[in-house]
């Protein structure tokens, strides 16, 4: 277990990969496949892991499967980078069970989206998050998603309410309203990282401590180069690298049919990891992802080949 000190510590910074979950043909967690994926990412500068989130197909997995993936990811990281586990579930009891397990397994933090049954309701989310936060002593991060956030809540009210949770540490912000993001920081959010991969530079410009994203699984070297260039005040270089990365992202959005369902991108991520990086991550959880056509698979591989490093 890594040591996490004061609640004002910036625990997650740099580029954090929203880790894919390797699956066997039977749909079980492919535990031996987790280590090579984590090693691949860390060798390219990834500075943290986000486990069992949307990219990790968490809500499509059973509680035992999520526990298995959590344990495998923590073991693979071996204390080299911090690990945050997304514990939200349709049942608050399951979410609390996952929070307790994450702590026992050696995670560095837990995270939760709004309750799946009541999106867009901050009062309901606060009750849900309070229960999860009380179940574990780990630092707690809210996963702010534009589609499920309560749009009537101001950043000031959000931060004020969240400070009532003793373990609240920060926000994973997957939204394009960067003024709202900056205001979350201004009102005292200790650790805030942005989610839209295609807008990493914009998030950094507004004060983000880092970026958590799905596509960092397939082009981690590009993502970490953007972060390094920005912090070296090489803004033109950071922007040029963002454009390169966005060419990959645009191809994935189109060819994975992400307009139908955002999680469809997972099929493209796993395809690229299998075919271009040689990592046996298996297929996807069919309840969350529409499989790609063979033509779209070929087109995606052609589009990104040579632009991943």
Catalytic residues: 143, 172
> Rounded to whole angstroms, how far apart are CA atoms 197 and 217?
11
Cβ pair 172, 142 in contact under 8 A: yes
> Rounded to whole angstroms, how far apart are CA atoms 107 and 90?
21
SS (H, E, C) 208-260: CCEEEECHHHCCHHHHHHHHHHHHCCCHHHHHHHHHHHHHHHHHHHHHCCCCC
Using DSSP's 3-state secondary structure scheme, residue 197 falls into: helix
Label residue 3 left, alpha or beta by phi (over 0 means left) and psi (-120 to 50 means alpha).
beta
> Rounded to whole angstroms, how far apart are CA atoms 53 and 152?
25
Partners of residue 193 on adjacent β-strands = 172
The owner of tokens 């969350």 is 288
| Distance, CA of 81 to chain centre | 14
> CB-based burial of residue 29 (10 Å sphere; 0-12 exposed, 13-18 middle, 19+ buried)?
buried
> Rounded to whole angstroms, how far apart are CA atoms 4 and 46?
19
What is the b/e burial string over 264-298, where b = at least 16 CB atoms within 10 angstroms of the residue's CB? bbbbbbbbbbbeebebebbbbbeebbeebeeebbe
Give me the DSSP letters along 145-187. Answer: ETTTS-TT--HHHHHHHHTTSTTEEEEEEE-S-HHHHHHHHHT
The owner of tokens 């499989």 is 291
Using DSSP's 3-state secondary structure scheme, residue 110 falls into: strand
């Amino acid at each position: 277990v890594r040591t996490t000190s004061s609640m004002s510590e910036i625990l997650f910074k740099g580029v954090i990969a929203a880790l894919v979950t390797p699956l066997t043909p039977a749909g079980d967690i492919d535990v031996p496949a987790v280590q090579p994926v984590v090693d691949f990412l860390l060798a390219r500068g990834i500075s943290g892991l986000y486990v069992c989130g949307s990219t990790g197909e968490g809500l499509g997995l059973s509680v035992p499967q999520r526990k298995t993936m959590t344990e495998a990811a923590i073991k693979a990281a071996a204390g080299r980078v911090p690990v945050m586990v997304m514990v939200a579930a349709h049942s608050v009891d399951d979410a609390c069970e996952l929070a307790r397990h994450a702590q026992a397994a050696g995670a560095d933090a837990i995270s939760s989206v709004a309750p799946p049954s009541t999106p867009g309701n901050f009062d309901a989310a606060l009750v849900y998050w309070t229960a999860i936060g009380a179940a574990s002593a780990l630092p707690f991060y809210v996963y702010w998603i534009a589609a499920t956030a309560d749009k009537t809540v101001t950043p000031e009210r959000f931060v004020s309410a969240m400070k009532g949770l003793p373990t609240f540490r920060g926000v994973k912000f997957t939204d394009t309203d960067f003024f709202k993001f900056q205001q979350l920081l201004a009102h005292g959010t200790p650790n805030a990282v942005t989610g839209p991969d295609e807008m990493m530079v914009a998030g950094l410009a507004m004060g983000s401590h880092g970026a958590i994203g799905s596509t960092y699984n397939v082009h981690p070297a590009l993502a970490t180069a953007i972060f390094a260039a920005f912090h070296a005040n090489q803004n033109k270089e950071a922007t040029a690298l963002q454009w390169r990365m966005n060419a990959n992202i645009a191809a994935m959005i189109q060819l994975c049919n992400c307009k139908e369902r955002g999680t469809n991108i997972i099929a493209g991520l796993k395809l690229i990891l299998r075919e271009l990086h040689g990592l046996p991550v298996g297929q996807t959880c069919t309840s969350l992802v529409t499989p790609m056509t063979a033509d779209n698979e070929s087109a995606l591989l052609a589009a990104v080949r040579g632009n991943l490093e």
